[in-house]
Amino acid sequence: MTDLSQNPCIICVAITGSLPTKENNPAVPITVAEQIESTHEAFEAGATIAHCHVRDDEGKPTSDPERFARLKEGLEKHCPGMIVQLSTGGRSGAGRTRGGMLPLSPDMASLSVGSNNFPTRVYENPPDLVDWLAAEMLTHGVKPEIEAFDLSHILQAAKMHRDGRIKDRPYVQFVMGVKNAMPADREVFDYYIHTVKRLFGADTPWCAAGIGADQITLNDWAISSGGHART
Amino acid sequence: MTDLSQNPCIICVAITGSLPTKENNPAVPITVAEQIESTHEAFEAGATIAHCHVRDDEGKPTSDPERFARLKEGLEKHCPGMIVQLSTGGRSGAGRTRGGMLPLSPDMASLSVGSNNFPTRVYENPPDLVDWLAAEMLTHGVKPEIEAFDLSHILQAAKMHRDGRIKDRPYVQFVMGVKNAMPADREVFDYYIHTVKRLFGADTPWCAAGIGADQITLNDWAISSGGHART
Ligand SMILES: [Zn+2]
Ligand SMILES: [Zn+2]
Ligand SMILES: [Zn+2]
Ligand SMILES: [Zn+2]
């Protein structure tokens, strides 16, 4: 697996995401075959990490380990060397089903370490679920990507690293632009970077993702500030 | 009601709080009579705001409007001029029962505008409940104290102020030291102050509360940085 701190330009491509459906965008890859095809294009264009969600036969988000297994296998075959990151996010399931694919030992998996509001509901990551997901990642040798929807999530990752719940120096993704969570605010963005450097060292890699209309903004900010971008 | 920005030293006394019981501390005032007695002492000692929780007959946290009414009435009689702030916090009830006392039109009420983790669970403040509580405060002329358990809560208060859901410039309390939420971190504390000044103006009053062992630390930080303390 690529060393994130050595690579000067990591592009993380989010395959499918958790929200769009064929109805609002017919180009969204839904089947595993479509996902592999579209990721392969991004891989050829230079993407380093594939952040993966999967869908069921009706196109709805799911955490089905069998789907994830087929996607992971396909990506390993068609995009050799690409980092496969599976989502344990809460839009695709509830409770421990969110981590049911971790025994596949992907290179990475997303990990939320706190709770926050989403546009119409609470994004629930209760402490016992966070600890269970982190423990599963330790067991199966999966590197977490910390999804920081707010500042305390970075400090919580630091605490989990200090007490051994997270093995390596945390790799944090700043998520901005989710309604009712953290907006895309340049000052806060800079303070996030400052906080990551303060807590984990000046050379710590990080990445950023803007939601919806803020995606382009966050890519600009991340690339011009030495971070990795998600497209 | 005292103008918070004019008073050089506001002390906010938390009556009873939501957690302690007679079993872990026999000195905790539980009945309304005990609460008025103990607040009166704090008032004579200079406390300006009474942040109030109430208990039921078994000593458990409740949002019972009738209890709140008796406490408010007693405080107004015994501590004239003291600002009465009623808690709409989630430890004392669920959903809209948390705001059932707002028709009493207290001077202030606490308002959480986001969700976060607590030591063993999610502190749930879903967007529709936040909006309903804020609307009730507008209707009944209640000034909210924004409970900022994380940085995004300050930005969310700013957004709610911009679009009219919060009438006056928000009065923010920084809450630190809750396990699995924001720890007592001096750098973050200073950034909270910076953010309040940036969003609401350099002369904006604010206050801070440390939980458990962090209470003394936060009081020190708040008083030495020009904020109001909660004791
Ligand atoms: Zn990423
Ligand atoms: Zn995702
Ligand atoms: Zn206060
Ligand atoms: Zn309270």
pLDDT range class, residue B2, cuts 50, 70, 90? very low
Residue A189 to chain B, least CA–CA distance (Å): 12
Spatial neighbors of B200 by CB under 8 A, at least 6 apart, are: B158, B161, B169, B170
In the reported structure, the alpha carbon of residue B110 is separated from the centroid of ligand 4 by a whole-number distance in angstroms of 7
pLDDT tens readout for residues B74-116 = 999 999 999 999 999 987 778 999 999 999 999 999 999 999 9
State the average pLDDT for chain A.
Answer: 90
> Is there a domain that residue B97 lies in?
yes
Q: Is A152 on the interface with B (CB under 8 A)?
A: yes
Domain count, chain B: 1
What is the reported pLDDT for B85?
A: 95
Chain A nearest-CA residue for B181: A152
How many angstroms is it from A177 CA to the middle of ligand 4?
A: 30
- CATH number of residue A63's parent domain: 3.20.20.70
Residue A160 within a domain: yes
Residue B100 domain-assigned (yes or no): yes
Closest residue in B to A119 (Cα) is: B127
Residue A3 lies inside a defined structural domain of this protein: no
| End-to-end CA separation in angstroms for chain A | 20
B146 vs chain A: nearest CA distance in angstroms? Answer: 15
Q: What is the mean pLDDT of residues A48-64?
A: 89
* Mean pLDDT, residues A163-188: 97
Judge whether B68 lies within some domain.
yes
Q: Is A187 on the interface with B (CB under 8 A)?
A: yes
User: How confident is residue A100, by pLDDT bands cut at 50, 70 and 90?
Assistant: very high
Contacts of B191 in chain A (CB under 8 A): 191
**Residue B123 contacts A where some CB pair is shorter than 8 Å:** yes
Q: Write out pLDDT tens, residues B13-70.
A: 887 666 666 666 777 788 899 899 889 998 998 889 999 999 888 888 899 999 999 9
Residue A1 domain flag: no
Give the contacts of A190 (CB within 8 A, at least 6 positions apart).
A225
Is residue B217 included in any domain, yes or no? yes
Q: Do B155 and A117 lie within an 8 Å CB cutoff?
A: no
Identify the CA nearest to A151 among candidates A179, A134, A172: A172
Q: Give yes or no for a contact between A85 and A109, defined as CB atoms under 8 angstroms apart.
A: yes
CA distance A95 to chain B (A): 13
Domain that holds residue A176: 11-230
Query: Vertex A198, ends B148 and A122: CA angle to 5°?
Result: 35
Q: What share of chain B in percent tops pLDDT 90? A: 71
Q: What is the mean pLDDT of chain B?
A: 90
Half-sphere CA count of B28, side-chain side, radius 13 A: 20
Q: Taking residues A103-122, what's their average pLDDT? A: 97
The arithmetic mean of pLDDT across residues B203-217, rounded, is 93
CA A5, A11, A156: angle at the middle one, nearest 5? 60
Look at residue B181 in the predicted model and tell me its pLDDT.
Answer: 98
pLDDT tens digits, B146-186: 999 999 999 999 999 999 999 999 999 999 999 999 999 99
Report which bound ligand comes closest to the CA of B149: 4
Q: According to the model, what pLDDT value does residue A79 have?
A: 93
pLDDT band at B9 (very low <50, low <70, confident <90, very high): low
